[in-house]
Amino acid sequence: MSNITVCARFRPLSSKERRDHGDGVCIRCIDTETFILKDEKEEDIIFSFDRVFCEKSGQAEVYEFLVLPIVRDAINGINGTIITYGQTGAGKTYSIEGPGILECGEQKKGILPRVVDGIFEHIKSDKMAKYSIKFLTELSSLLRDLFDLSKDNIQIKESKIQGILLSGATEMSIMDPAEALQSLSTGIANRAVGETQMNMASSRSHCIYIFTVQQELTGDKGMKTGKLVLVDLAGSEKVEKTGAEGRALEEAKMINKSLSALGNVINALTCGSGRANHIPYRDSKLTRILQDALGGNSRTALLCCCSPSVSNASESLSTLRFGARAKHIKASPRVNCNEDKYSKKNEALSPDKDESCKRILNKLKESLDIEDVKLLEELFILEGILFDPYSVEELESSYEDVTLQTISSLQAAVEELVFTVEELKMENYALKARIVAAEKLDVLHKESCKSSNVLHKILSAFSFFNGWGQSLLSGG
């Protein structure tokens, strides 16, 4: 098992930060791994990560240390994930894309175009192996396909062999870096962005780029498949700083909600309890997609992007604490290899036969009713002619979903019951206090009544004697 690689990156001060708050910074680097952050209370907090990239660190330095080892592993059949995390305007999208993925100098080129170049450079250097490369991009807030905007509710499925899958998402094969970057540029143009007081082009959604690299092994020994995932998270937001309102405010709420779910997963994975904990991967689509990356079959790297300005010290501190906790996550990456004996055993389930059957069904749709075609498709699946990759796993996944939902419902019911009991205890305590107070008041009232009666008798006697005395005087 291995830990997640965590790095911190501090961008240069923005012109707005210099104008509003001067040149003061809240961080001081000690070496390449350790730095000190001065929080809003002027207290020094020391952090140590795998690497610290200060404002003078270049894009190439980030790629070579954090990303390149994961790219090499993905080409060799080991899944990899790179995640950028931080407040809005901290430099996450710049780290991933650079100023732009098509026309950008080598110095400012981001992680994404460098990954594309790195994959093809490695393939060219390996003349003995046969590769195929596919990629897709996804938007995780609504799970909308950036290559086909009509696909706005892509389903997340899980396979024991392939891990987390996005059913129905656009997937395309690529032959060279230029084709890949052009296609990615088209998808990026469909990403939702908006202007806030913190950022002129703030990402209003999380963006996920998924590359799948397949390598055919020599001698008919099967195939290695590596999945490389780049995740550009939308930034956490404080409304008082971003000035978001209307639609932007609703987007900010959704972003913060999904990031909160991500934080809950990190906390559950690193809580250190002796017993097995429930990990709430299914609380959001984002954490469901990142299930393999967080404690599963993937080598994962986290880049914590921060502002060095004293005005953003609290947000930077929150980001760095997130990274410090994530560093304790244990992952179990392995080589994804489908051996030849497995392929022969499942020869009847080959993708070529599936495609043939699907083509036949599509032709039948032209002349038959849709219900008849659905019946034929079900018969094909029952006879093993057409393979449904999710049939068994969907049942298991659904069973797991129901089980987890039941557990969650019971936990919620217990928590609500405990809360109700506490409320009743408080009400009972308050009622007892009121009864005691009422009893004391009653005693005081009775004592007051007794005193009043005595006083009344004294006054009556005094009045009697006074009247008697006056009558004597007048008689005399």
Q: Any known ligand binding at 270?
A: no
Q: Any known ligand binding at 93?
A: yes
Longest dimension (CA), the chain: 148
**303, 297 contact by CB (below 8 A):** no
Beta bridge partners, 172, equal 135
What's the CA gap between 330 and 327, in Å, rounded?
8
Amino acid at 247: R
Amino acid at 42: E
- Dihedrals phi, psi of 354, to nearest 5 degrees: -60, -45
**8, 49 contact by CB (below 8 A):** yes
What's the CA gap between 151 and 277, in Å, rounded?
35
Q: Any known ligand binding at 90?
A: yes
Taking alpha carbons only, the member of 161, 155, 109, 326 closest to residue 233 is 326
Within a 10 A sphere around the Cβ of 308, how many other Cβ atoms?
A: 22
Q: Any known ligand binding at 433?
A: no
What 3-state DSSP class applies to 226?
strand
Q: How many residues would you count in the chain?
A: 476
**2, 299 contact by CB (below 8 A):** yes
Beta bridge partners, 224, equal 215, 337
Beta bridge partners, 236, equal 87
- Dihedrals phi, psi of 133, to nearest 5 degrees: -125, 135
Q: Any known ligand binding at 89?
A: yes
**216, 130 contact by CB (below 8 A):** yes
Q: Any known ligand binding at 92?
A: yes
Q: Any known ligand binding at 242?
A: no
Q: How many CA atoms lie less than 13 Å away from 331 in the CB half-sphere?
A: 25
Q: Any known ligand binding at 411?
A: no
Distances (CA, A) of 375 to 99, 349, 370, 413: 52, 20, 9, 43
Amino acid at 139: L
Within a 10 A sphere around the Cβ of 367, how many other Cβ atoms?
A: 8
Within a 10 A sphere around the Cβ of 75, how many other Cβ atoms?
A: 23
Binding residues: 86-93
Residue numbering of the annotated binding site for ATP: 86-93
